[in-house]
C-alpha cells in the first residue's frame, strides 16, 4: 500500500539569502510510493516486432511529411507492412514518447534502462536467440539511454511479439537476476513502462491461450519481485485483444493505459505519475502569491519560480495523495536586491532552465491565465478519453478471458524460460 506523502524541499536551503531579481527557484520531491527510500528504477520495455514498422499517423521526425502505409521487403524475401517514412512509424512514436518521458525525470533520484522485445519463430517451433534484449542497463546517464534509443530506431522493427520475454528481461534488470547487466537497488521503487502495439504471439505459435498464460506467469514473477508494470496498448490491434496488458498491469498493481491513436502517446505519457502523488502546490505564504512558473516531473520531482518581497519570505509547499496523509514543508528566504545571486548546484540546472523557459514563454504570450486554463481543459479531456478507452478495453479483456478460459493466479508462477 502507499505510504504517507514524503515531501522535501531540496533547493534552496532554509534561511538562504537571495539577491538579484525578486524571485527564487525552489525545487524538491514528493512521494507516496511503497518503498521507504526516495530512489526509483525505471525500465522502458519497447515492442520492436514487425507491426511497429507501420505508420503512426503523425510526423514524428518533423520533416513536414506524414508517412503512409507501404509494403517493405523482408530478409526472407516476403513483404510486410511498413511506413513510407520509417521516422514516422509506431516504433518512432514510441521512442519519441520515451524521450519526452525521460525529460520529466530527475537523474539524481531515478535510474533508467531500456529493454526491447520481439522474437523469431524458427523451424520445429523453436524460438530464435534473444527475444528480449537489454539495450542499456540501469543508469543515471540519460544521454546513454538516448543513444540506445537512436540505435533501436535505426535498427527498425521486425519479428513476432514475445511479451513474456520482455517482462522477464525488464524484471531481471531491476532485480539483478542472472544474466542481467544492472546493479539492483533493493531500496528503490521498481517500475517497468511496457509499450506494445500488438498481442502476444510467442512463445507458442498459434496458441493464444498459451501465449497469454506465459505473460501472466511473467506478471506473477514480477509481482513477487516487487515490480509494478505500467502497460500501454498502442493502436487498434493492441486494444482489440488487450487481456494480456490489462492483466499484466492488474497483477503487478500497475496501471493499463489504452492509446487508440499512436499520435497521442506522448500526451498520454505526460499524465503518467510514478510518485503516486495527486497534487503539489508551491506558494509564497508571506505574500499569498502562487508560483510564477511550475514544473512537475513524473517521479515526483518539482521546480517552481517564486516571487519574493524585500525582507523575509516564507515559502510553503504542500503535497497530497489519495487515501494517505498529505504533507507540508516550509522554508524561509531573505531577499536583498544588493546581495549576490545564490549559486545553483549543477544537478538542478536542467530543471531550473525548464522552469525559466515556462515563465518566459508565459510572459511572451501575455495570455498565461487563459492558456493555463486551456492546458487544464486538455488534461481533463485526456483523462476522460483514457477512462473511456480503458473501460472498453477491460470489457473486451473480460470477453477474451472468458473465451480463452484463462484463470489468473497471483501465486506459484511458472519458472522463467
Percent of the chain with pLDDT over 90: 55
**Grid cell 503523425 in the structure block, residue:** 58
pLDDT of residue 126: 62
Interval 148-172 mean pLDDT: 95
Q: Is residue 43 predicted with pLDDT exceeding 50?
A: yes
- pLDDT band of 410, cuts 50, 70, 90: very low
Taking residues 36-45, report their average pLDDT: 89
pLDDT reading at 38 higher than 60:
yes
User: Which pLDDT score, from 0 to 100, does residue 399 have?
Assistant: 86
In whole angstroms, give the CA distance from residue 100 to residue 84. 24
pLDDT in tens, 215-251: 999 999 999 999 999 999 998 888 888 899 999 999 9
For residue 68, CA distances in Å to 36, 91, 260 come to 48, 14, 18
Count helices and strands in the chain by DSSP H and E runs: 9, 17
C-alpha cell at 18: 537571495
Mean pLDDT, the chain, integer? 86
What global pTM score does this model have? 0.85
Is the model more confident about 315 or about 56? 315
| The pLDDT value given to residue 372 | 56
Asked whether 304 and 352 are in contact (CB, 8 A), the reply is no
pLDDT in tens, 319-353: 999 888 899 999 999 999 999 888 889 889 989 99
Q: Alpha-carbon distance 53 to 251, whole Å? A: 30
Domains and CATH numbers, the chain: 6-33+275-365 (2.60.40.3780), 46-274 (3.40.50.410)
- Quote the pLDDT of residue 78: 43
- Residue range 151-158: mean pLDDT, rounded: 93
**Helix runs in 124-227, H state only:** 142-155, 163-175, 208-224
Residue 311 has pLDDT above 70, yes or no: yes
pLDDT at 263: 81
The crossing angle, in degrees rounded to 10, of helices 90-102 and 142-155 is 180
In this predicted model, what pLDDT tens digit does every residue of 356-377 receive, in sequence order? Answer: 988 887 766 544 455 555 656 6
pLDDT at residue 360 in the model: 84
> Given this model, what pLDDT does residue 355 score?
92
Position 354 pLDDT exceeds 80: yes
C-alpha cell at 245: 496488458
Q: How confident is the model at residue 314 (pLDDT cuts 50, 70, 90)?
A: very high
Q: Distance between CA 104 and CA 110 in Å, rounded?
A: 10
pLDDT tens, residue by residue, 46-94: 999 998 888 777 766 677 776 666 765 555 444 456 666 666 788 999 9
CB 319 within 8 A of CB 7: yes
pLDDT computed for residue 68 by the predictor: 66
Q: Which candidate, 30, 150, 22, 171, places its Cα nearest to that of 96?
A: 150
Check if the beta carbon of residue 88 is closer than 8 Å to that of residue 54: no
Bridge partner list, 70: 82
Instruction: Say which residues have a Cβ less than 8 Å from residue 183's Cβ, sequence separation at least 6.
Output: 138, 176
Q: Burial-class residue 402 by CB neighbours within 10 Å (0-12, 13-18, 19+).
A: exposed
Q: How many CA atoms lie within 13 A of 367 on its CB side?
A: 6
pLDDT in tens, 89-139: 889 999 999 999 999 999 999 999 999 999 887 665 566 678 999 999 999
Reference 261, options 98, 97, 80, 42; nearest CA is 97
Q: What is the pLDDT of residue 374?
A: 60
C-alpha cell, 190? 521498481
Give the per-residue pLDDT at 79.
Answer: 43
Does 12 sit behind a cis peptide bond, omega within 30 degrees of 0 on the bond before it?
Answer: yes
User: Are residues 45 and 62 in contact, defined by beta-carbon separation less than 8 angstroms?
Assistant: no
Amino acid at each position: 500500500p502507499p505510504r504517507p506523502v514524503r515531501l522535501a524541499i531540496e533547493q534552496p536551503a532554509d534561511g538562504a539569502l537571495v539577491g538579484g531579481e525578486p524571485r527564487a527557484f525552489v525545487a524538491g520531491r514528493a512521494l507516496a510510493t511503497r518503498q521507504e527510500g526516495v530512489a526509483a528504477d525505471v525500465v522502458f520495455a519497447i515492442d520492436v516486432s514487425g507491426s511497429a514498422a507501420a505508420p503512426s499517423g503523425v510526423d514524428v521526425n518533423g520533416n513536414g511529411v506524414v508517412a503512409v502505409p507501404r509494403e517493405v521487403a523482408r530478409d526472407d524475401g516476403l513483404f510486410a507492412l511498413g511506413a513510407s517514412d520509417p521516422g514516422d512509424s509506431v516504433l518512432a512514436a514510441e521512442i519519441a514518447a520515451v524521450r519526452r518521458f525521460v525529460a520529466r525525470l530527475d537523474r539524481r533520484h531515478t535510474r533508467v534502462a531500456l529493454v526491447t522485445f520481439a522474437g523469431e519463430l524458427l523451424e520445429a517451433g523453436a524460438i530464435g536467440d534473444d527475444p528480449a534484449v537489454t539495450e542499456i542497463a540501469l543508469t543515471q546517464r540519460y544521454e546513454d539511454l538516448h543513444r540506445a534509443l537512436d540505435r533501436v530506431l535505426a535498427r527498425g522493427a521486425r519479428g513476432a511479439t514475445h511479451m513474456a520475454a520482455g517482462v522477464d528481461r525488464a524484471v531481471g534488470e531491476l532485480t539483478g537476476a542472472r544474466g542481467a547487466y544492472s546493479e539492483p537497488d533493493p531500496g528503490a521503487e521498481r517500475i517497468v513502462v511496457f509499450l506494445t502495439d500488438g498481442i502476444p504471439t510467442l512463445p507458442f505459435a498459434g496458441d493464444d491461450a498459451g501465449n497469454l498464460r506465459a505473460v501472466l506467469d511473467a506478471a506473477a514473477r514480477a509481482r513477487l519481485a516487487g515490480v509494478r508494470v505500467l502497460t500501454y496498448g498502442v493502436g487498434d490491434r493492441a486494444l482489440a485483444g488487450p487481456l494480456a496488458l490489462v492483466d499484466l498491469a492488474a497483477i503487478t498493481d500497475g496501471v493499463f493505459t489504452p492509446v487508440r491513436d499512436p499520435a497521442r502517446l506522448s500526451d498520454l505519457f505526460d499524465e503518467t505519475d510514478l510518485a503516486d502523488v495527486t497534487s503539489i502546490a508551491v506558494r509564497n505564504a508571506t505574500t499569498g502569491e502562487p508560483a510564477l512558473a511550475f514544473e512537475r516531473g513524473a517521479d515526483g520531482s518539482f521546480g517552481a519560480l517564486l516571487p519574493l518581497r524585500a525582507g523575509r519570505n516564507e515559502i510553503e509547499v504542500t503535497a497530497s495523495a489519495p487515501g494517505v496523509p498529505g504533507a507540508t514543508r516550509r522554508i524561509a528566504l531573505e531577499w536583498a536586491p544588493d546581495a549576490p545571486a545564490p549559486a545553483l548546484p549543477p544537478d538542478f540546472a536542467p530543471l531550473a532552465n525548464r522552469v525559466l523557459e515556462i515563465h518566459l514563454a508565459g510572459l511572451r504570450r501575455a495570455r498565461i491565465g487563459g492558456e493555463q486554463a486551456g492546458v487544464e481543459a486538455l488534461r481533463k479531456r485526456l483523462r476522460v478519453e483514457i477512462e473511456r478507452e480503458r473501460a472498453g478495453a477491460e470489457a473486451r479483456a473480460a470477453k477474451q478471458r472468458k473465451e480463452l478460459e484463462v484463470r489468473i493466479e497471483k501465486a506459484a508462477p511458472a519458472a522463467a524460460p
